[in-house]
Chains A and B, each alone.
Chain A
Amino acid sequence: MIVDEDNIISKCQNGDAIAFSFIVEEYQQFVYNLALKMLNDVGDAEDIVQDVFVKVWNSIKLYSAEKSKFSTWLFSITSRTCLDHLRKRKSTVKVSEEQLSEYHNIQQSAVDKLEHRDAIQLIKTLSDSLTPTQKLVFVLRDLEGYEVSEVVAVSGFTEKQIKDNLYLARKSIKAKMSKLF
């Protein structure tokens, strides 16, 4: 967290773009990481980072530290932006059986040394059949390690919606894993 983040946010709320650059510098990696795990495409993730920070800049006057932590507010914007992007991207290319078979060869050592590029591909392979909501819940809960209450705050879904979607997401991913490993 940035030292004296409240002061920097206050400056941003008064239109200080230089102060905002500290916010971008501090959080862009987190936004990018979440976006890439959601979208599994480097170009899309970079676009999302830009869109998210432009949205944050345009609506930062609405942010209130009394209502939520800044990071929670930022990630909720990121989540919604990613969800919108996934919903628009209707023509999702499903992972074929041939592509699945490529992962049969991943051995214990290979998983240990998983390269970033392979990780993106593996997440994509495992989660390609999930709905956008299932994917968001799976990424936040299992790939980012958020508590359910945090997922509620970031996604805006109810606890029941999260549990139901997480159950379906895990079931689908377990089925994929059983074919892969």
Chain B
Amino acid sequence: MKEDWSDREKEIVDKLRSVKFIPDSAEELQRKVLSRINTKEKPDSRFIGWARIAAGVLIFFLVGTYVFEEGFTHYSRFKLEGSLLKTDYFSGRSENCKDVIQYYLSVNSRFNLFGQSRDTVLLSQADVAFLKELYPDSGLRIDEFMNAMKKFYPLDYARFRSGDVVELNVNTLKNDTRLCELLVNTKY
């Protein structure tokens, strides 16, 4: 395994070992090294580093907030619509009654006619006209609903007719059996 040098080879290797290379311009090389170190150490560079981290954290929170808000809004909407359209709520009533109220509320839900608290329906003459135009086939149902409103909520109906926006409570609409019966008994 041993691979020793002959005298001649040893002489050459020794000669090469004795050669110590020195940089042509040691000072220049030293200056370059220190320049690279100082550039890396500049406070501005550190500040930029911190600014990048801060910007990253800020963006993370902004995106996080946006995603949370979007998620929460969709969740709330899904929950509310689910409760509004839940058929069990109407158990014990006829299918027609269930259909009419459910249809009306779902239309409102779809077109964002809910109030800010989302347990009320905001209704104006413009909304009614808009719904009739959008769903011409259901115009009769909407008319019947307005008749029911006139009969059972005369004060609200009067305000509706005068051009005010009327705020109807969703739970009241769903639980008011008079309204339901009237709609069911109406022939359309």
Q: A32-B29, A46-B23, A177-B12 are in contact. Are A171 and B3 (CB under 8 A)?
A: yes
A41: min CB distance to chain B, Å? 11
A21 at the interface (CB under 8 A from B): yes
Q: Is the CB of A17 within 8 A of B38?
A: yes
Q: Is the CB of A24 within 8 A of B16?
A: no
B187 at the interface (CB under 8 A from A): no
The answer, among A17, A29, A50, for a CB contact under 8 Å with B32, is A50
Q: How far is the CA of A77 from the CA of B36 in the complex (A)?
A: 18
B48 at the interface (CB under 8 A from A): no
Q: Is the CB of A33 within 8 A of B17?
A: no
A87 at the interface (CB under 8 A from B): no
Q: Is the CB of A122 within 8 A of B3?
A: no
A114 at the interface (CB under 8 A from B): yes
The answer, among B9, B16, B26, B40, for a CB contact under 8 Å with A122, is B16
* Chain B residues within 8 Å of A28, by CB: 23, 26, 29-30, 33
Q: Is the CB of A57 within 8 A of B1?
A: no
Task: For chain B, give the interface size range.
Answer: 20 to 34
A115: min CB distance to chain B, Å? 9
The proximity string for B residues 3-15 relative to A, scoring 1 for CB distances below 8 Å and 0 otherwise, is 1011011011101
Q: Is the CB of B33 within 8 A of A17?
A: no
A145 at the interface (CB under 8 A from B): yes
Q: A17-B37, A167-B1 are in contact. Are A114 and B13 (CB under 8 A)?
A: no
B47 at the interface (CB under 8 A from A): no
A10: min CB distance to chain B, Å? 17
B interface SS class: helix
* A122 closest partner in B (C-beta): B16
The proximity string for A residues 140-181 relative to B, scoring 1 for CB distances below 8 Å and 0 otherwise, is 001111000000000000000001001100110110010001
The proximity string for A residues 113-126 relative to B, scoring 1 for CB distances below 8 Å and 0 otherwise, is 01010011011000
Q: A28-B26, A32-B29, A36-B21 are in contact. Are A53 and B37 (CB under 8 A)?
A: yes
Q: Report which residue of B3, B24, B33, B41 has the largest number of chain A beta carbons within 10 angstroms of its beta carbon.
A: B33
Q: How far is the CA of A21 from the CA of B12 in the complex (A)?
A: 36
* Chain B residues within 8 Å of A119, by CB: 15-16, 19, 21
Q: How far is the CA of A163 from the CA of B33 in the complex (A)?
A: 35
The answer, among B2, B6, B34, for a CB contact under 8 Å with A21, is B34
Q: Is the CB of A25 within 8 A of B30?
A: yes
Q: Is the CB of B30 within 8 A of A33?
A: no
Q: How far is the CA of A54 from the CA of B40 in the complex (A)?
A: 9
* A15 closest partner in B (C-beta): B41
Q: Is the CB of B3 within 8 A of A24?
A: no
* Chain B residues within 8 Å of A135, by CB: none
* Chain B residues within 8 Å of A137, by CB: none
The 3 closest A-B pairs by CB, nearest first: A170-B3, A53-B33, A36-B21
Spell out A's residues near B (CB within 8 Å). Answer: 15, 17, 20-21, 24-25, 28-29, 32-33, 36-37, 42, 45-46, 49-50, 53-54, 57-58, 111-112, 114, 116, 119-120, 122-123, 142-145, 163, 166-167, 170-171, 173-174, 177, 181
